[in-house]
Amino acid sequence: MKGLFGRRNDAQTPSEEQVMRALSTVKEPELGGDLVSRKMIKDLKIEDGVISLTIELTTPACPLKDQIESEVRAALQAIPNVEINDIRIEWTSNVRAVHGGLPNKSPIPGVSNVIAVASGKGGVGKSTVAVNLAVALAQDGARVGLLDADIYGPSAPLMLGVNDRPAVTPQKKIIPLEAHGIKVMSVGYLIDASQPLVWRGPMISSMLRQFLFDVDWGELDYLIVDLPPGTGDIQLTLVQACPLSGAVIVTTPQDVALADAIKGVEMFRKLDTPILGIVENMSYFCCPHCGERSDIFSHGGAVRASERLGVPFLGEVPLSLAIREGGDTGRPAVTSDSQDAQAEAFKKIARLMAGRLSVEAFAAPVG
């Protein structure tokens, strides 16, 4: 109970020791251990009975943030004389780098994590997934870049709605364009969209290295690399050029797509790159008029494949007219103001992916 003028008596004010002891009962749900031992509690202040603290997450896109907050509030309310209005929580994050892939590769300056988004075959919506995951991470507060590495078929300019030509710094660094809160670079910004790119493999590999190291990416938590389909030169060049943090494999439920997706998983495994998970795109279709669900391309194949391969299943994205329209007009699905199923699917997948990368960060050495 508060004393006169709404102030607490000293005997009623919880001590820092009481607060930290209570917080030590809250577990980090993915990494294990408690918030105190993992040094996730910052800037603890207790003034006039009000407990203020900052929780430092391993990613701003933490998929279990709500769970952590609920458990922190419950633990603090268990302290005598602490009421729900006496608790003030703020959030910050410290994204730890994961340097996987082939050894002894120099990281991209300022970039903590490089995530490859890949598919075994074309036509599965890999670029749509890559764009929406990048924007979803940025919406959660992460610093994100998107590298459109599909040199022969760049899609970022259309999907993000930016078509300007990048500027160059005095140090001869390319300045990436910005759209929907992310930095983006694509060969589509450097060539005429109507002209085919007739280049041999070595030229393509050279351009990819330039996009990695000669672009002024600044400070990024995540650089999403939208790879071309298959397991060819670009994929190998990426792994040989920089330390890859992880890979996301995109597939559809069809057996032919899943067979190729499995090849992609095995390729990254051979290159010592963590598989963050599999995404099943075009998983089902819901009629916009009657709401009936149709599994046009079958359903659940990606779940079964992930179980068989022992890799995480990140989620399913429905087949949707809104996704197609957004990709054609430069408005990714996650930017929709309405609570569409496809927008929520991308947001959930992005958070799960970031959570998986946090787990990898604490399991792998920092290099």
pLDDT surpasses 60 at 2: no
Which residues constitute the domain of residue 72?
4-93
CB 319 within 8 A of CB 339: no
Residue 111 has φ and ψ, to the nearest 5°, of -105, 120
DSSP-assigned beta bridge partners for residue 130: none
Query: Crossing angle of helices 321-329/126-139, nearest 10°?
Result: 80
Tokens 């670009």 found at: 234
* Same-domain pairing of 56 and 166: no
H or E element at residue 128? helix 126-139
CB 260 within 8 A of CB 121: yes
DSSP-assigned beta bridge partners for residue 313: 278
Residue 192 has φ and ψ, to the nearest 5°, of -70, 125
User: Domain of 350: which CATH number?
Assistant: 3.40.50.300
pLDDT surpasses 90 at 221: yes
Domain for residue 327, yes or no? yes
User: Domain of 83: which CATH number?
Assistant: 3.30.300.130
Least confident interval from 92-96, 145-149, 304-308, 323-327: 323-327
pLDDT: which is higher, 363 or 279 = 279
- Three-state secondary structure string covering 321-354: HHHHHHHHHCCCHHHCCCCCHHHHHHHHHHHHHH
pLDDT of residue 260: 84
pLDDT surpasses 50 at 366: no
Q: Do strands 50-57 and 87-93 pair parallel, antiparallel, or not at all (unpaired)?
A: parallel
Domain for residue 98, yes or no? no
Average the pLDDT over 136-153 and give the result: 94
* Same-domain pairing of 161 and 62: no
pLDDT surpasses 70 at 3: no
46-60, 226-240, 277-291, 296-310, range with greatest mean pLDDT: 46-60
pLDDT of residue 5: 46
Domain for residue 101, yes or no? no
* Same-domain pairing of 179 and 259: yes
* Same-domain pairing of 155 and 293: yes
Q: Using 50, 70 and 90 to split pLDDT, how confident is the model at 111?
A: very high
Q: Which of 141, 177, 137, 138 is nearest to 160 (CA)?
A: 177
* Same-domain pairing of 80 and 130: no
Average the pLDDT over 193-199 and give the result: 67
Q: pLDDT exceeding 90 applies to what percent of the chain?
A: 60
Cα–Cα distance for residue pair 244/113, rounded to 1 Å: 7
Average pLDDT, the chain: 89
* Same-domain pairing of 130 and 41: no
Q: Which of 23, 75, 74, 16 is nearest to 46 (CA)?
A: 16
pLDDT tens, residue by residue, 282-306? 887 777 777 677 777 777 788 888 9
* Same-domain pairing of 123 and 78: no
* Same-domain pairing of 56 and 158: no
pLDDT of residue 304: 87
Cα–Cα distance for residue pair 341/219, rounded to 1 Å: 32
Least confident interval from 22-26, 135-139, 197-201: 197-201
Q: Which two tokens stand for residue 20?
A: 């930290």
What is the tally of structural domains in the chain? 2
* Same-domain pairing of 178 and 279: yes
* Same-domain pairing of 87 and 115: no
* Same-domain pairing of 119 and 70: no
* Same-domain pairing of 160 and 251: yes
pLDDT tens, residue by residue, 4-50? 445 555 557 889 999 999 999 999 998 889 999 999 999 999 998 89
pLDDT tens, residue by residue, 305-340? 899 899 999 999 988 877 888 888 899 999 987 767
Q: Which of 302, 260, 299, 253 is nearest to 278 (CA)?
A: 302
